[in-house]
Structure 1
């Protein structure tokens, strides 16, 4: 009876671990797309036409994709699970860190820190899924961050607003300074 209970406990534990690992992998798959999509959405919300933020993101993301795919075909490093020879650098990580670096460079560390934490989770999910090792993830992060830093300009909100209002007594000049 003890052997049967032990077998059942081990069976339940093994299935729980497998389900958790699949959840981590699936979450990483979603976040690696969600970060660049959020970055793209932000370019429409905080659009200053003179810097063309959407174009900045597209150049950064596209360049990162081209570099990452070229490196995969040049390096030909086998994956830890042995499925193919396109391990270095991690494409998921390149994508996630490209979005995170864009958000951080454009809008600051207040939004950058959570973005980088999510991108780091994507890297972890790739290692946990045995698709990449630490060097593959680091390579993807370097490609994603460097291309975003190269193409992205910081968003500068206007600190002073000037308006003239008409009232009963004449006109009022208003200056609004935002810190």
Structure 2
């Protein structure tokens, strides 16, 4: 006989008492946080780097992913698992949000940072299927990831720091300075 280490009681939206393990609640809460934290990190990164072109690209790709996701939810009206009588399962909005942020980080700034963002986004996808409420199935999660990644690739180009910088200075008198800086 297998006995779970920790079991907790939770209540579903229908008011039914159900028994779940503590890790399921932790996983679901982690997914809830990461679906906001990953795109927030992507947007803040563009600001910290003063990458305003990236800010615009992120805003366009993230907004597009959310509009497409919520439009598809209304058009397709797929019922959520476990007969909840809710018809907005496809695609997963949490997963779309997380993968939109992760794919932006990877596409704009490379795999060095993108791999960790994708790991976080994958955790969000798993949390939507394996949390105590099991809000989605694999197809909802894969579709959410596809929408998030697809919208990023529509609008985002890789970040390239300009290796050559040109500067000009005049003190108002007869002094003029032209500078050329090359970084390699």
Q: TM-score normalised by the shorter chain: which range applies?
A: 0.7 to 0.9
Distance apart, 1:63 and its partner CA: 0.7
Q: 1:15 aligns with which of 8, 11, 15?
A: 8
Distance apart, 1:177 and its partner CA: 3.1
Give me the whole-angstrom Cα distance separating, in 2, the residues matched to 1:99 and 1:14.
Answer: 33
Distance apart, 1:30 and its partner CA: 0.1
Q: TM-score, normalised by structure 2?
A: 0.79
Alignment pair present for 1:103 and 2:111: no
Alignment pair present for 1:147 and 2:151: yes
Correspondence for 2:130: 128
Larger Cα-atom Rg: 1
Paired positions, count: 162
Distance apart, 1:24 and its partner CA: 0.4
Higher helix share: 1
Give me the whole-angstrom Cα distance separating, in 2, the residues matched to 1:29 and 1:43.
Answer: 23
Give me the whole-angstrom Cα distance separating, in 1, the residues matched to 2:29 and 2:65.
Answer: 22
Unaligned runs of 5+ in 2: 10-19, 169-178
Q: TM-score, normalised by structure 1?
A: 0.81
Distance apart, 1:153 and its partner CA: 1.7
SS in 1 for 2:98: helix
The answer to whether the 8 Å contact 2:164/2:180 transfers is: no
Q: Which runs of 4+ in 1 moved over 6 A?
A: none
Correspondence for 2:76: 75
SS in 2 for 1:15: strand
Higher strand share: 2
